[in-house]
Each structure stands twice: as structure tokens, then as C-alpha cells.
Structure 1
Amino acid sequence: MEFTGSSYDGEYYNGRMEGKGEYTFPTGTKYIGEMKDGVFHGKGVLYFPNGSKYEGTWEEGLSKQGSYTFADGLRYQEKNWDFCVGNDRQFYSERCNGLKPAGESQLTDLDPSRVIPEGCYDCRDGFYNPKTRVISNYKYNFLRNADDEEHEWIVRTCRKSWDEVVGHRREKQN
């Protein structure tokens, strides 16, 4: 494990991870639950660095059944999912707490929204600077370099800081 950057704190049997334990991946994702013969086996929860989690039942390292909960508390439903479909553009927090009054916009599910550094994009796990192609976390620590595919996706879909004029601009009167 020391070669992969992972760690394990828990019970062992015959030198293998077995029983209850906590396995931490190098990404910060953590599994807390039952192990058998060195793999996830039984009930356990995967906790992701962004605050989301997956609770499941595992057999020989494979999830057989489970449920995913987003960081904001929204539980994913495989059937009858009515969130973010069609013309529904509400954030989950708006569904839970109601819409703001007319004239008060909610830009993200996080309210108030994060302030984005000039020229950057908010890509959910941090800020992306398209000039340097670097993604930094919200404490401005390096996370990764974006490849071409991620760069295109961020520029196309993520919220950008207001460093350019948008909307109607009134012409000066002489």
C-alpha cells in the first residue's frame, strides 16, 4: 500500500485485510466497512472528498447494491428521477428551501456562490485558469493540469468569473 499511496487501518486475518476497517485511497476517497480476503466485502460506505458518499453492499470487491448521496444531501434515484430533467433548472437547495424572490438570482447550489478569480472558471473541485490550464482547489493549492478534453468541457459548461462585458451596453451620449 505504501507504494500506491493508500492506507488501511483495521482488522487483519492471515496477513490480509479482513473484518472491519478503513481504507483510504491516494485521492482522499475513504471506504469504511467490512473487508474479506483483502477486498471490500459486506456493508460499507465510500466517502468522497467532495462530501458525497456511496453506501453499499459489496461482494468480492464489487458493489452489488447501494445508494449514492450527493454532497448537498440529494439522494440519487435510479427510477422516477425528476431532478435536472427537461426544463427543470432548479438547484437542489432551491427544491429544499424554495426559490428566491424575483430579482435575486442563485447562481449555484452553494448560496452565496464562491467568488471566482478573474479569468477563471469554477469547475466544482476548484478553480480552472484557462491560460495556464491548471486546476487549483479553493485554497489555491495545485490539483492537476487539464488535458484538452477537460479544458473544452470546463470552458463550455462551467461558471466563469465576470471579466468580460455581457448583456446590453449603453452607448455614450455626446
Structure 2
Amino acid sequence: MEYTGSEYKGERLHGRLEGKGEYILPTETRYEGEMKDGMFHGQGTLFFPNGSKYVALWDHGIALQGKYTFADGLEYDKEDWRYCDQYDRRFYTEICDGLKPAGRSQLTDLDPPRKIPDGCYDCGDGFYNPLTRVVNDYQHKFLRNADDDEHEWIIQKCRKGWDETTGYRPKQSQSTKT
């Protein structure tokens, strides 16, 4: 584990991770639960640095069934998901606390939203710098390098740390171009 930057606290059998334990990844994602032959096995929970968690039944490292809960307490339900869908674009906090007055739109589920460093994007688990192609968590610790697909997705979909003029812009006539 010293090679991966991970840490394990818990039971072992013949030197392998076996029984109940806590496995901490270098990203500070933490697994608490049962292990078998060095893998998540049985009942266990992944706790993510952003405060969300995934409680699951694992079989040799594969989640057979589980439930994801966002940091704000909202539980994901694949069959009955009613938040930020094609019919209702409100955030969970807007459903719980009500909508803001006109002109004070809520940009994220966090209110107020995180301040994004200049030139970066908020990609959900951290800030992305398109010049270095690095994603750092919200405490500015390295998470990962973005591949081409993730880079394009972030550039197209995520909130920017700067303002851009959008909307209608009238064409300039020849006399006003000089």
C-alpha cells in the first residue's frame, strides 16, 4: 500500500486484508466494511471527500446493490429520480428551501456556490485547469489528470470561473466597424 498511497486499518489473514477494516485511498475516499482476499466483500460503505457516501453489498470488489447518498442527504433513486431531470430543473436545496427571487438564480446545489479560481472549471469533485489538464479537489489537492474525453466534457458542460457575454449581439454595420 505504500506504493499506491493507500492505507488500511483492520483485520488481516495471512497478510491479506480480510474481515472488518477501513481502507483509505490517496484521494481520501474511505471504505469501511468487510474485506475478503484483499477486496471489498460483504457489507461496506464508501465515504467520499465531498461528504457523499455509497452503502453497498460487495462481492469480490464488485458492488451488487447499493445506495448513493449525496452530501446534502439526498438519496439517489434510479427508478424514481425527481431532481434536476427534464421536467424539473430545481436543485434539491431549492426543493427543500424554496426558490430564490427573480434575478437571484441558484447556480449549484450549494448556496452560495463555490468560488472557482480564475481560468478554471468546477467539475463536481474539484476544480479543473484546462491549461494543465489537472483536476484538484476543493482543498487544492491533486485528484487526477483529465484525458481528452473528460477535458471536452468539462469544457462543454461545467461552470466556469469567469463571465462571458452571451445572447444576442447585433451585427455591426460597415460604418460602425472602423
Q: TM-score range by the shorter chain?
A: 0.7 to 0.9
Map Cα deviations across residues 57-111 of structure 1 (whole Å, 9 max, x no partner).
2233332222111222211112122222213211111112111122221111110
Structure 2 residues not aligned, in runs of 5+:
170-178
Look up the match of 1:48: 48
- Aligned partners of 2:130 and 2:15: how far apart in 1? 48
Mapping 1:159-170, distance limit 5 Å: 159-167=159-167
Amino acid of the structure 2 residue aligned with 1:83? Y
Task: Name the structure 1 match of 2:83.
Answer: 83
Tell me the distance in 1 between the aligned counterparts of 2:117 and 2:19: 46
* Aligned residue identity for 1:96: C
Instruction: Give the Å deviation of 1:142.
Output: 4.2
Residues 1:38 and 1:117: Cα distance change in structure 2 (over 3 Å): closer
Q: Secondary structure at the match of 1:128?
A: strand
1:68 match: secondary structure: strand
- Cα–Cα, structure 1 residues 129 and 64, in superposed 2: closer, same or farther, change >3 Å? closer
SS, match of residue 41 in structure 1:
strand
If the length of structure 2 is used for normalisation, what is the TM-score?
Answer: 0.81
Report the Cα distance in structure 1 between the residues aligned to 2:119 and 2:54, rounded to whole angstroms. Answer: 34
Retained in 2: the 8 A contact 1:135–1:146?
yes
Is contact 1:119-1:163 (8 Å) kept?
A: no
Number of the residue aligned with 1:149: 149
Q: Which residue of 2 aligns with 1:101?
A: 101
Where does residue 11 of structure 2 map in the other structure? 11
Relative to structure 1, the CA distance from residue 127 to residue 62 in structure 2 (aligned partners, 3 Å threshold; closer, same or farther) is closer
In 2 relative to 1, CA 2–161 (structure 1 residues): closer, same or farther, beyond 3 Å?
Answer: closer
Change (3 A) 1:29 1:142: closer
Dislocated runs of 4+, deviation >6 Å? none
Alignment length, in residue pairs? Answer: 171
Q: Which amino acid in 2 is paired with 1:108?
A: T
Structure-2 separation of matches of 1:129 and 1:4: 24
Counterpart of 1:172 in structure 2 is none
Q: Distance in 2 between matches of 1:133 and 1:38?
A: 33
* Letter of the 1:135 counterpart: V
Quickly say closer, same or farther: Cα 1:107–1:2, change in 2 above 3 A.
same
Distance 1:101 1:91, change over 3 A: same
